[in-house]
Amino acid sequence: MAKFSAKPKDLAKIRYTPPKTEWTETPVEFREHMFCHSAKPKDLETVGFPYGRAWSAKDDDWKLPDNWEQIILQGMKDLLGKYRSFQLFMDICVRCGACADKCHFFIGSGDPKNMPVLRAELLRSVYRGNFTLAGKILRKLAGARDLTVGVLKEWWYYFYQCTECRRCSVFCPYGIDTAEITMMGRELMNMIGLQLGWIGGPVAACYMKGNHLGLEPHTIKSSIEFFLDDIETLTGIKIEPSFNRKGAEILFVTPSGDLFANPGTYTAMGYLMLFHELGLDYTWSTYASEGGNFGFFTSNEMAKRLNSKIYAEAKRLGVKWILGGECGHMWRVLSQYMDTWNGPADFMEVPKSPITGTVFDNAKSMKMVHIAEFTADLIKHNKLKLDKSRNDHLNVTFHDSCNTSRGMGLLEEPRYIINNVCNHFHEMPENTIREKTFCCGSGTGLNASENMELRMRGGFPRANAVKYVHERYGVNLLANVCAIDRATLSASMDYWVPGVGVAGVHELVGNALIMKGEKERTQDMRLEPLPEKEGSENV
């Protein structure tokens, strides 16, 4: 496969006019760089997903099980009975089109089947044809379709071109949430072994080893020790965190991506420095070493199985509550699913900050606090000494993650932190932030490398808004509270807005945090010289 090499200016030539043929008569075309490799049989086998096999989307024959139609239709029937959202969203769409130009994949590709309404119609047409009287009688007139291999291929292509960001659901007059529909579509496809390699791999790794990257316990420890060396270089302070320690007050869970790749690692350093400075009685876990949940992109059951480790580990270690790191979909799963799946977490206490005494009543049942809530509370109570000027070389804007904004409402906390650790902050245009924020373009397991065109197209609206503040205010850093953002926005910035870096909010906190007994800092968290300090030394 040729490497993706399209130039940004060519990719941005987007036609929004639909093709001449009706969408029902336009078969799916698998375009290179727009879809992912399929899952490896052994990964599916590890977690017990059925029908693992070697196949590729480009093949004519997908080696489907003989009774695949029956499996899918029975699966649809079951899911309709389990989820009111699914049943309702199949019935009530009026196709007003308000969602159409709200999807980052549609904006970036112009492909009409990326309009949320049509994405849902892919499933709805089959629903009508098989589960409604009108559809059975009136067929095409009622918008009904048979379930064919062609339809299935469409599902695979387009349900893996949705990041479940829920932006469309903000604008829908009935709150129809394409994330729900994509989740059902993906769950159905998982019943016949149609999964992505980039999802199947992390899921299997997370199941067996506790995290998506498959980091084994000693590797987790050594990764963190590597950060500790950098922190010592930076501050002269030696930090000794604990792992799997029983009796700690707080269990800290964060996405494993932050232990592995830049710039997430700098965020992890920020956590370590903050907790050390506070003298927090906390522990890392190598077993519950994943906050994120790629199982969520396969089936509800798989998501629950992966998620179960967090409460199980909290119980085993006997902690009072759990603190969660910066992540997007992790927090949708935690705040809207975890307690329901694996609760009640009655073996813990209502979270209470040991530093400020603040009781987090908003998390009194699920017992888990977002680090942005925790840190904002610290700053409000003047518990941190901060030197904002250490971030003066940064001109910051903030990217709201889809899930923390539309599945939680964590909007002001990170902004409060940023405004207290940075002097230069500029918001992106109103229609691209907060509940109207744009996805990075690579969520829900689409952050592979073989689908780079899709990612760059999906990331276009976000990047375009960054470009606006970059050109207008000289913004050079895109802050966020999401591990996938940190990994994927770097690529999309390099592509669309070169010159803008990406960082987690707690990297900025780490930069600004004045630690007891630290030496004078001449470098930032990335061990790059702080411009002004460098200047003063040169005098």
Tokens in use for 375? 């840190």
- Minimum Å gap between C-beta 522 and other proteins is 32
Nearer to other proteins, 39 or 410 (CB): 410
Nearer to other proteins, 261 or 408 (CB): 408
Nearer to other proteins, 206 or 231 (CB): 206
- Closest CA relative to residue 146, chosen from 122, 130, 131: 130
Tell me: does residue 473 bind other proteins (CB under 8 A): no
- Minimum Å gap between C-beta 92 and other proteins is 4
- Closest CA relative to residue 431, chosen from 466, 465, 402, 386: 465
Tell me: does residue 427 bind other proteins (CB under 8 A): no
- Minimum Å gap between C-beta 149 and other proteins is 23
Tokens in use for 127? 């629903």
Using CB under 8 A, which of 253, 366, 487, 497 touches other proteins?
Answer: 366
Beta bridge partners of 451: none
Q: State CA 451 to chain mean position distance.
A: 17
DSSP string, 8-49: HHHHT----SPPSS-GGGS-----TTSSPPBPPHHHHHHHT-
Which positions from 9 to 48 touch other proteins by CB under 8 A, shown as an x/- string? x--x-x-xxx---xx------------------------x
Which positions from 141 to 180 touch other proteins by CB under 8 A, shown as an x/- string? xxx----------------------x--xxxxxxxxx--x
Distance CA 535, CA 512 (A): 19
Using CB under 8 A, which of 191, 213, 322, 465 touches other proteins?
Answer: 465
- Closest CA relative to residue 232, chosen from 263, 272, 259: 272
Nearer to other proteins, 181 or 515 (CB): 181
Tell me: does residue 74 bind other proteins (CB under 8 A): no
Using CB under 8 A, which of 49, 62, 86, 282 touches other proteins?
Answer: 86
Please report, as residue ranges, which positions from 263 to 282 form the binding site for other proteins (by CB under 8 A).
Answer: none
Nearer to other proteins, 145 or 390 (CB): 145
Contacts of 452 (CB under 8 A, 6+ apart): 4, 33, 491
Contacts of 221 (CB under 8 A, 6+ apart): 243, 286
Tell me: does residue 287 bind other proteins (CB under 8 A): yes
- Minimum Å gap between C-beta 254 and other proteins is 17
Tell me: does residue 458 bind other proteins (CB under 8 A): no
Indicate the SS3 state at residue 428: coil
**What is the total count of residues that contact other proteins (CB under 8 A)?**
117
Quickly list H helices, 236-370: 264-278, 300-317, 329-333, 339-342
Q: What are phi and psi of 152, to 5 degrees?
A: -60, -40
**Cβ–Cβ under 8 Å, residues 440 and 484:** yes
Tell me: does residue 431 bind other proteins (CB under 8 A): yes
Which positions from 94 to 133 touch other proteins by CB under 8 A, shown as an x/- string? xxxxx-xxx----x----x--x-xx--x----------xx
- Minimum Å gap between C-beta 389 and other proteins is 26
Please report, as residue ranges, which positions from 393 to 412 form the binding site for other proteins (by CB under 8 A).
Answer: 405-412
Tell me: does residue 261 bind other proteins (CB under 8 A): no
- Minimum Å gap between C-beta 323 and other proteins is 14
What is the dihedral angle through the alpha carbons of 455, 257, 218, 201, rounded to the nearest 10 degrees? -40
Contacts of 234 (CB under 8 A, 6+ apart): 521, 523, 525, 527
Nearer to other proteins, 379 or 452 (CB): 379
Q: Residue written as tokens 């790059």?
A: 528
Nearer to other proteins, 170 or 355 (CB): 170
Beta bridge partners of 396: 425, 477
Residue 259 one-letter amino acid: L
Please report, as residue ranges, which positions from 233 to 252 form the binding site for other proteins (by CB under 8 A).
Answer: 243-246
Tell me: does residue 368 bind other proteins (CB under 8 A): yes
Nearer to other proteins, 40 or 245 (CB): 245
DSSP category for residue 71: H
Please report, as residue ranges, which positions from 197 to 236 form the binding site for other proteins (by CB under 8 A).
Answer: 207-210, 216-218, 221-222
Nearer to other proteins, 400 or 524 (CB): 400
Using CB under 8 A, which of 249, 281, 341, 473 touches other proteins?
Answer: 341
Please report, as residue ranges, which positions from 297 to 326 form the binding site for other proteins (by CB under 8 A).
Answer: 301, 304-305, 308-309, 312-313, 316
- Minimum Å gap between C-beta 322 and other proteins is 11
Tell me: does residue 82 bind other proteins (CB under 8 A): yes
Give the CB-side neighbour count of residue 437, counting CA atoms within 13 A: 26
Contacts of 74 (CB under 8 A, 6+ apart): none
Which positions from 485 to 514 touch other proteins by CB under 8 A, shown as an x/- string? ------------------------------
Nearer to other proteins, 68 or 89 (CB): 89
- Closest CA relative to residue 259, chosen from 313, 323, 306, 215: 215
Contacts of 441 (CB under 8 A, 6+ apart): 104, 105, 108, 163, 454, 455, 456, 457, 458, 459, 460, 462, 488, 492
Tokens in use for 228? 């500790």
